[in-house]
Structure 1
Amino acid sequence: MNKTILKNIKNIHFIGIGGIGIGGIAEILYKEGYNISGSDISNNYITDKLIKLGININYHNKNNISNTIDIVVPSNSIKQDNIEILESKRLNIPIINRGEILKEIMRYRHGISISGSHGKTTTTSILIDIFIKNKIDVTFLNGGYLKNNENINLGKSNYFILESDESDLSFLYLNPISLIVTNIDNDHIRNYENNFNNILKSFLRFINNIPFYGKSILCIDDINIKNILNKVKSNFITYGFDKKSDIQIEKINKLDLNYSSFILKNNLCNYSIEVILNNISGKFNILNSVAAISLSLIENIDIDIILKSLREFKGINRRFEIIKDKKIIEKINNKNLNNIDIISDYGHHPNEILSIINNIRNIFLNRRLIMIFQPHRYTRTYDLFSDFINVLLKVDILILVDIFSAEESNTFNISSYDLYINIKKKNSNIVYYINNNEILYILNKILLKNDVFLIQGAGSINNIINSI
């Protein structure tokens, strides 16, 4: 097993250590022998887990910073006026971007980066599962939780599978040998000087940064990826429904709630196989699975092991997750209505939400769709306001709760109430704007038998539902 070598660095402090990505980095380095400390504004599952490992974690306080710390690594949500950032600067302690740390974790390993505006976590999860089924003890860091595993592991093999973040351009620090780009969309555009061309240029730079012996796996169905293919200088193969794909989804046999079956044609090797994918649903997730299959094939994983992994896949928390927890079901469906299906999904961009809505409409024919939605970030809500309205109008009944800030300042003076007012103008019968303590009352009032209830959003909405 190759280790992370940070020369002359021993003591590392993480600000915002409760984030899923930054907490995972801290855990890997701690297990490699570095002295780790951290801070956050509150405790959560991640901080509790790290404390149990032996990591010292406190609330934000300038006293957490001392001259014994070699470097400070903040989460991308931490502002420059954070008290610990200011104290680090006063003491001349280097403040290091998490992307730089990930680069060093990847440096002496066989790095595999999964990137894209949507579908990263699902693709990463499927790929990790395939490697595990192939008995490869892989180091990985994922943005979500597999049903049968954690989101982080320090493995003994030389492989490092990483869900890469384009939101703050930190993926440009990385040095993977192979990578996946699922799609490119208009998100986090303020970090790209409000210019979509800058997003395209950044992804192109990321793709062209792999070594001459590496390979990129690119979704040719995505129009934005297709438009930059002629500028890709590194080795790549394509996948998708498009007949020009190297790895082509030739035909969907069945698309159900927990089950997908499709024919996959390898146009590079001229063979076709049936793929069965369990505990995950939707055409978009077929694409995600084929991205993972394609990368597994170039890493010479046996096709039978790949197919076995997909058949036995357990699913991912909050990625079109079918809720089976009896306590949650009883809370939501307290009238014991027949045939109520409850789905929880992390999607927070209009295009992600539209894909979820379309998938539900295709599976649950002629059934009402009730969605509770928590917008994520003031900037995204403001920048994509019209898109959100157009998509949210497609459900039968919409329940809106307040925007999850993700520690952003509300410089636009925008709220979920603005969405509510604009949607209500177009269809006054479908929308509610409520406080969290009104959720059960509203659900009790509007839910009918055979309804599909969708919990949608990336912030605290799932915790809100669990705690009501």
Structure 2
Amino acid sequence: MATRAAANIGERRVMLATPRRVHIVGVGGPGTSAIAIILAEMGHRVSGSDMHESKVLEQLRDRGITVNVPHRADVVDRCDLVTSSAAVPQSNIELRAASEKGIAVLTRAEMLGAITPHARTVAVAGTHGKTTTTTLLTLMLRAAQLDPGWLIGADVQQLPASAHWGADLFVLEADESDSSHLAITAQAAILTNIDLDHLDEHGSLAGITASFDAMLAATDGPLVVCVDDPAAAALAASHDAITYGTSPAATVRATDVRLSNGAADFVVRWGGVAQADTTSSNIAVHLPLRGMHNVRNFLAAFTMAQALGVAPATAAAAISNFAGVHRRFQVRATHNDATFVDD
């Protein structure tokens, strides 16, 4: 099934080395608005459209991006490329107009495939934890003054926007739901876990696993994989990846974990991973997020940050006041003994 998924993406790569006129249908969505920001900061002329006005559209206009409400067929007339949210039907009048005029229409995955060759890309993949891990790694790289770019499918209080085109590194979620993880050109990759999901795209757990296997094989650089997840651990062994988790077999391991009051305190121990600081092999961490799943998300980001040259102390300090990601196990209220979570 991974081969079929890759074939659906195709080999099409649109060069974005020179300024292009790009129109985004459904630009108000979290994924498409982030792509609009990236393309505009790369120097392309970006326009977009959506069905209804929103705060997101106003924010895009403030960046100089032309946004039309509602959809109109003529807005694509002078465009070089058109892309859209996966939620937009192919019957949309703008997509139909672009096809009739011979304008290249790209899926979201194909557009990411066109963007990522222009930066040193770090792909964060896995069934669960992509958004939080991408955010944590971005904060660590920013703390190390590396001026990374990022593309995150949610709002983060500590970041100025959901997306940014940086000076060198580009960190993004590599989504398996539309096989974006197979379209992206990456020089480093994280695999958080493998679970049964998106069967419409991959057919089976074996198909999903095969797609992650193909992604790791295509990545030209450090691979960071969770050894606590059996399916991911099997791929880690076959790709000689740096591993993380709570297992004694992990290269980077969390020990002495204490979960309380919506936070986690633990010690990270490591060995055998290239790092900026060789004077120690452990560090105490306070993570202001609840749950073991977030301990593992931290370990994923921490391990990749080390592989990219960030000192462990810098990486740990970068998240000491992390407020979390919007709608990612976000606590909305408490009443008596009940906690209400938005996820």
| Bin of the TM-score, shorter chain as denominator length | 0.7 to 0.9
* 1:69–1:264 Cα change, 3 Å: same
What CA distance in whole angstroms lies between the structure 1 residues aligned with 2:62 and 2:339?
Answer: 36
**What pairs with 1:87-98 in structure 2 (closer than 5 Å)?**
87-98=97-108
What CA distance in whole angstroms lies between the structure 2 residues aligned with 1:288 and 1:316?
Answer: 12
Aligned twin of 1:262: 266
Relative to the length of structure 2, the TM-score reads 0.88
Letter of the structure 2 residue corresponding to residue 312 of structure 1:
N
Residue 80 of structure 2 is aligned to residue 70 of structure 1: yes
What CA distance in whole angstroms lies between the structure 2 residues aligned with 1:196 and 1:320?
Answer: 25
* 1:33–1:9 Cα change, 3 Å: closer
Aligned residue for 2:154, secondary structure, equals coil
Aligned twin of 2:164: 153
Aligned twin of 2:247: 242
What CA distance in whole angstroms lies between the structure 1 residues aligned with 2:339 and 2:292?
Answer: 20
Letter of the structure 2 residue corresponding to residue 204 of structure 1:
D
Q: Tell me how far 1:237 sits from its aligned partner.
A: 0.7
CA contact (8 A) 1:245 1:267 kept: no
* 1:108–1:8 Cα change, 3 Å: closer
- 1:304 paired residue among 285, 300, 313: 313
- 1:114 paired residue among 117, 124, 127: 124
- 1:294 paired residue among 285, 303, 326: 303
Relative to the length of structure 1, the TM-score reads 0.65
Letter of the structure 1 residue corresponding to residue 307 of structure 2:
I
What CA distance in whole angstroms lies between the structure 2 residues aligned with 1:322 and 1:220?
Answer: 29
Aligned twin of 2:336: 450
CA offsets, 1:108-165, max 9 Å, x none?
Answer: 321111111111111111111111111222111111222222211232x211111121
CA contact (8 A) 1:60 1:83 kept: no
CA contact (8 A) 1:9 1:70 kept: no
Residue 53 of structure 2 is aligned to residue 43 of structure 1: yes
What CA distance in whole angstroms lies between the structure 2 residues aligned with 1:136 and 1:230?
Answer: 30
What CA distance in whole angstroms lies between the structure 1 residues aligned with 2:139 and 2:237?
Answer: 33
Residue 321 of structure 2 is aligned to residue 321 of structure 1: no
Letter of the structure 1 residue corresponding to residue 230 of structure 2:
I
Count of aligned pairs = 323
CA contact (8 A) 1:62 1:87 kept: no
Aligned residue for 1:205, secondary structure, equals helix
What CA distance in whole angstroms lies between the structure 2 residues aligned with 1:268 and 1:144?
Answer: 34
* 1:288–1:322 Cα change, 3 Å: same
Tell which deviates more after alignment, 285-294 or 178-187: 178-187
User: Which runs of 5 or more residues in structure 2 are unaligned?
Assistant: 1-13, 274-279
CA contact (8 A) 1:119 1:182 kept: yes
- 2:95 paired residue among 77, 85, 91: 85
* 1:299–1:66 Cα change, 3 Å: closer
CA contact (8 A) 2:50 2:71 kept: no
What CA distance in whole angstroms lies between the structure 2 residues aligned with 1:299 and 1:84?
Answer: 42
CA offsets, 1:7-28, max 9 Å, x none?
Answer: 5662111011111111111112
Aligned twin of 2:216: 207
Q: Tell me how far 1:5 sits from its aligned partner.
A: 5.7
What CA distance in whole angstroms lies between the structure 2 residues aligned with 1:94 and 1:225?
Answer: 36
- 1:190 paired residue among 196, 200, 223: 200
Aligned residue for 1:294, secondary structure, equals helix
Aligned residue for 1:79, secondary structure, equals coil
Question: Is the radius of gyration larger for structure 1 or structure 2?
Answer: 1
Q: Tell me how far 1:99 sits from its aligned partner.
A: 2.3
Aligned residue for 1:311, secondary structure, equals coil
CA contact (8 A) 1:60 1:84 kept: no
Letter of the structure 2 residue corresponding to residue 223 of structure 1:
P
CA offsets, 1:291-342, max 9 Å, x none?
Answer: 000001111111111121132323222223234xxxxxxxxxxxxxxxxx43
CA offsets, 1:18-41, max 9 Å, x none?
Answer: 111111111121123222111122
Higher relative contact order, structure no. (Cα contacts within 8 Å, ≥ 6 residues apart): 2
RMSD, aligned CA:
2.1
What CA distance in whole angstroms lies between the structure 2 residues aligned with 1:41 and 1:181?
Answer: 35
Letter of the structure 1 residue corresponding to residue 163 of structure 2:
I
Residue 227 of structure 2 is aligned to residue 220 of structure 1: yes
CA contact (8 A) 2:330 2:341 kept: no
Q: Tell me how far 1:60 sits from its aligned partner.
A: 4.7
Aligned residue for 1:225, secondary structure, equals helix
* 1:282–1:64 Cα change, 3 Å: farther
Aligned twin of 1:176: 186
What CA distance in whole angstroms lies between the structure 2 residues aligned with 1:221 and 1:263?
Answer: 17
CA contact (8 A) 1:276 1:311 kept: yes
What CA distance in whole angstroms lies between the structure 2 residues aligned with 1:218 and 1:88?
Answer: 41
Aligned twin of 2:172: 162
